Amino acid sequence: MDEMVWQALLAAIILLTLFKITLITYRRRAFPEPHYDWENIDTSDISFPPGFIWGTATAAHQIEGNQSNNWTDFESRTGKEQSGIACDHWARWREDFELLTELGVTSYRFSIEWSRLEPSPGEWNEKAMQTYSDMVDDLIARGIRPMPTLHHFSHPSWWEDRGGFTDSSNLPAFLSYCERAFDSLSDRVSVWCTINEPTVFSAMGYTLGQFPPGRRSIRLTLRVMRNMMRAHAMVYRSLKQRNPDCSLGIAKNVTLFDPANRWSPIDWPVARLLEWLWNGAWRKGIMTGRMLWTRIPGAKGSLDFIGLNYYTHFITGLFMPTSADELDFAKREHEITTEFGYPMYAEGMRRAIDFVAELGVPIEVTENGVADSSDSLRPEHLMRHLWVISEAIKDGSDIRSYHHWSLMDNFEWAEGYKMRFGLYSVDFETQERSLRPSGELYRDVINR
């Protein structure tokens, strides 16, 4: 009897082992993690179709200066570095638009600061709206396409005090702001982003606590993710009715999650869970109208294009960080670590492109860049990613644009001023802007 039990147990162990090996083998094939031999790739060998759009990107809170919103409140309350005057762009935008002309870009992605337009509930600042209108006119006169984002991590303090995206009853106020800004500019602005990186906003603000309001709650994180999808769907449906000729999309951060050990039966489930929460659940919401076990009215098909923000992949395993202090960016042995701490993984741009291509709409690369104060890595980073995009286009991917993050150094959210992403360096003492060699390289690519 004992021998039969041991034989059955041994057979069960063998079957379980075979099942695990089969499952892991399937996952390794279904979810590859390619790495290129960059030393033998000529990254200057790139080509883009006629009419391809070249741009740069910024966000209001990061450059405008002198804000009063959820972020300035958070900076003051937590003792983080203050954004302050930032790049003083609100006063210097005409000079900064000269930088766009110097680069030769044909598109500029920026965000509209809701707190400037509606500093208190129902109080509309026409003067601030006129400034954004003047910006749009100036860009068009330069032959540059304006691409506004309606929510890029910041909103009025009064809306935050009401709970912001944690409470679906707050969404009509957000919609009202979007409609009013849209009505003011849509006669001249044809391409809009509704929300920037909803998953980043949700996770950083409600799981890791590094964005306002600094909460740490998985329950609230999931609620905010659903409500941001609701907000996007509401805004998309309303604005399309107001002007059907406008193209509306969302800027989605696609971070890839790869298992630390690609033969580990533990690391794989963790990586796939994070990949689904960060990317898959959101894509399913757009494709089916259901997200995180909830039906989202109007979400299905609520895109005319998809904005792709791509920076890196995240190598993970059993340990799942729940605070920024616990974050530890791992890298493969041959990968280069950026100043931000994560690895440069240009190969992931193709994986991200293929992921969003499933949505069946044109792709606009709305952000891609690297923190590099010495400008020693940025040229290589730029050319690797452009090479990957060029190859994807050759293979049939419908990619319409590339926007480099960022035009100039700015206030990098929880990282303050220490992370320098700009094609132009900024001396924050004098506000002097200087074109970096990587900016010259980007200009040369545009002018080919």
Is 447's pLDDT higher than 70?
A: yes
pLDDT-derived band of residue 7, with 50, 70 and 90 as boundaries?
A: low
How far apart (Å, rounded) are the C-alpha atoms in residues 69 and 119? Answer: 8
Strand pairing partners for 308? 252, 365
Residue type, 394: K
How far apart (Å, rounded) are the C-alpha atoms in residues 60 and 58? Answer: 7
Is 19's pLDDT higher than 60?
A: no
Tens of pLDDT, residues 205-228: 999 999 999 999 999 999 999 999
Find the mean pLDDT for residues 424-446: 99
Q: Which of 145, 85, 75, 65 has its CA nearest to residue 110?
A: 145
Place of tokens 């991590």: 153
Is 22's pLDDT higher than 90?
A: no
- Backbone φ and ψ for 408, nearest 5 degrees, come out as -150, 160
Q: Return the percentage of the chain with pLDDT > 70, whole number.
A: 91
The pLDDT score that the predictor gives to residue 218 is: 96
Q: Which of 74, 76, 148 has its CA nearest to residue 117?
A: 148
The secondary structure of 249-290 as a DSSP string is EEEEE--EEEESSTT-TTHHHHHHHHHIIIIIHHHHHHHHSE
What is the CATH number that goes with domain 23-446?
3.20.20.80
According to the 3-state scheme, what is the secondary structure of 94-141? Answer: HHHHHHHHHHCCCEEEEECCHHHHCCECCECCHHHHHHHHHHHHHHHH
The pLDDT score that the predictor gives to residue 27 is: 66
The pLDDT score that the predictor gives to residue 179 is: 99
The pLDDT score that the predictor gives to residue 439 is: 99
The pLDDT score that the predictor gives to residue 263 is: 82
In the chain, helix, strand, coil percent, each to 5? 45, 15, 40
**Domain ranges within the chain, ordered by starting residue:** 23-446
3-state DSSP assignment of residue 434:
strand
Place of tokens 């298992």: 259
The pLDDT score that the predictor gives to residue 329 is: 86
Is 164's pLDDT higher than 60?
A: yes
The pLDDT score that the predictor gives to residue 317 is: 83
The pLDDT score that the predictor gives to residue 11 is: 59
Is 53's pLDDT higher than 90?
A: yes
Tens of pLDDT, residues 25-51: 656 677 889 999 999 999 999 999 999
The pLDDT score that the predictor gives to residue 10 is: 62
The pLDDT score that the predictor gives to residue 185 is: 99
Inter-residue contact 414 to 204 (CB < 8 Å)? yes
Tens of pLDDT, residues 337-352: 999 999 999 999 999 9
Tens of pLDDT, residues 170-203: 999 999 999 999 999 999 999 999 999 999 999 9
Report the alpha-carbon angle 389-391-393, nearest 5. Answer: 70
The pLDDT score that the predictor gives to residue 162 is: 99
The pLDDT score that the predictor gives to residue 230 is: 99
pTM to 2 decimals?
0.94
Inter-residue contact 235 to 194 (CB < 8 Å)? yes
The secondary structure of 379-391 as a DSSP string is HHHHHHHHHHHHH
Residue 15 Cα to chain centre, angstroms: 43
Both tokens of residue 43? 């990254």
Q: Which of 401, 334, 410 has its CA nearest to residue 54?
A: 401
Is 281's pLDDT higher than 70?
A: yes
Kindly list the distances between the CA atom of residue 402 and the CA atoms of 46, 108, 128, 357, 391, in Å, as whole numbers in the listed order: 14, 10, 29, 15, 14
Is 266's pLDDT higher than 80?
A: yes
Place of tokens 């799942």: 320
Both tokens of residue 8? 């059955």
Find the mean pLDDT for residues 61-85: 97
Residue 368 Cα to chain centre, angstroms: 9
Report the alpha-carbon angle 236-241-243, nearest 5. Answer: 95
Residues 6+ apart with CB under 8 A from 206: 166, 213, 215, 216, 217, 220, 221, 224
Inter-residue contact 352 to 402 (CB < 8 Å)? no
- What's the mean pLDDT when you consider all of the chain? 94
Tens of pLDDT, residues 119-157: 999 999 999 999 999 999 999 999 999 999 999 999 999
3-state DSSP assignment of residue 196:
strand
The secondary structure of 319-357 as a DSSP string is ----SGGG------TTPEEPTTSSEE-THHHHHHHHHHH
How far apart (Å, rounded) are the C-alpha atoms in residues 397 and 420? Answer: 31
How far apart (Å, rounded) are the C-alpha atoms in residues 435 and 238? Answer: 40
DSSP class of residue 165 equals G
Question: Alpha helices of 195-254 — where are they, by DSSP H?
Answer: 198-206, 218-242
